[in-house]
Structure 1
């Protein structure tokens, strides 16, 4: 069955929430129900989060399942492997991950801490690559996770270079992840400005208790932001003055190589 932009035949009053939407937009809303805090969902949860009638949701999930956009285990649905495979084809991910990988390994060797690479995606910081050793404990975030921009060092770096409309939306939704998450707009604005001025951002237990973050921007030759390269410390932050230069050297090398690709 092919998707079409025509309204479904036989729509009833109970489907008023979906009225006027194309099948494609409904399917995208269903996929949009998944996020870093909701990686597995039941049919009823997807229906509620996507504002899609249960019957319509069940039918579309069947088509998405067949295509590989979602997977199912028991009563729960997950994002499917085919979407992930498509995401890896995006130039920003493919080029950045390929080029940044060796430099991230260097930072890992120098710091013995988790090394992350984030890009700006809408109102979130998207984790596209992660390197860690064997003694850093349980990861705070996994590749593919999307974090609110204000809770992490990488997110604050991204906010420092983000368009005004992105900043405005981020400031309108300052959720608290821990007791130490900065949700006061004035303080957050100062931190973002300091990150831009100093060339790095620091956080302590804002995303998860017991962790600290340090991140620097990855810029191209024109000073445009490509990504944020960061380190997560499990426990107290140790010798940030030694880690900052290592991150900055790696970020500059990544920016140069990306620039050479045009």
Structure 2
């Protein structure tokens, strides 16, 4: 490379995506501690040219991230909405942990907290060491929503119009869901069971899982609590009752509502 010539990997052009993201971030950060600011104040505090700040603000106003009132700007309702979702998710996570530990102690099964992410479920938390192998069952692991009990528990709480784009990769076993028609039939069974989804070796050979959605039908939370264990030892009915009760208790705790927690039934696993 010639001396004095800068590589595109080490320098960004003014209109590059990374540079633009940095500018938007620096602009939004100036609102921390300042409810309303003028264009001149925003440009000065964000260290941006006035024309650039004005152009970015105009686009953020169109998107609802920023609102303009006369000569002043403030954060918009879209930012509040996104922030509220983060707070709700964190509140849910903190509310879940005591119930997840109690559920693990009373059942001896592994407990997962999962959320719907596009067409997959993402496992956020796990209490229990089994299964020892299988990356898709660990925190951070993903499974197709149509294949997993947690995914189907969440989907059963949504109208089909609200479903994300679902994929139907070849299931790991002959018991897995293969088509949208099969999925619809399974979701009807989930609703008939009071919102409890059951997967017997459909997602992974040798594993049975039961799950219940957390929160009301049609809500924006899209999270589920599930139990899993060796297929030959999990008592499906008792495990389903336990996870449904715990999911309801978690929702009340996360919402700050007073409710006497129901007693989670102890489970006697088959030998």
So what's the TM-score if we normalise by structure 1? 0.60
Q: Which residue of 1 aligns with 2:100?
A: 104
Contact (CA 8 Å) 2:201, 2:231: kept in 1 or not?
no
1:176: Cα distance to partner?
A: 1.5
Q: Is the 8 A contact 1:115 1:229 kept in 2?
A: yes
User: What does residue 192 of structure 1 align with?
Assistant: 187
RMSD over aligned CA atoms reads 2.9
Query: In structure 2, do the counterparts of structure 1 residues 3 and 187 end up closer, same or farther at CA, with 3 Å as the change threshold?
Result: same
Asked whether the 8 Å contact 2:92–2:254 carries over to 1, the reply is yes
Change (3 A) 1:223 1:23: closer
Cα displacement (A) at 1:130 = 0.7
Contact 2:149 2:209 in 1 (8 A): yes
1:6 maps to which of 10, 15, 32: 15
Deviation at 1:163, TM superposition (A): 5.1
**Larger Rg: 1 or 2?**
2
Counterpart of 2:234 in structure 1 is 238
- Please report how far the alpha carbon of residue 165 of structure 1 lies from its aligned counterpart in structure 2 after TM superposition: 4.5
Query: Alignment partner of 1:161: what SS?
Result: coil
The equivalent of 1:248 in structure 2 is 244
Distance in 2 of aligned mates of 1:117 and 1:4? 43
Report the Cα distance in structure 2 between the residues aligned to 1:188 and 1:110, rounded to whole angstroms: 31
- The structure-2 alpha-carbon separation of the partners of 1:142 and 1:2, relative to structure 1 and needing over 3 Å to count, comes to farther
> 2:152 & 2:187 partners in 1: Cα distance?
6
Does the aligned pair in 2 maintain the 1:113–1:136 contact within 8 Å?
no
Unpaired runs of 5+ in structure 1?
8-21, 27-88
Alignment gaps of 5+ in structure 2: 1-9, 22-84, 258-271
Which residue in 2 is equivalent to 1:95? 91
Instruction: Determine the C-alpha separation between the residues in 2 that align with 1:205 and 1:249.
Output: 23
Q: In the alignment, what sits opposite 1:175? A: 169
Distance 1:236 1:157 in 2: 22
- 1:232 & 1:238 partners in 2: Cα distance? 8
Does the 8 Å contact 2:150/2:226 carry over to 1? yes
TM-score scaled by structure 2?
0.58
Q: Deviations over 1:76-98 (max 9, x none)?
A: xxxxxxxxxxxxx9434422221
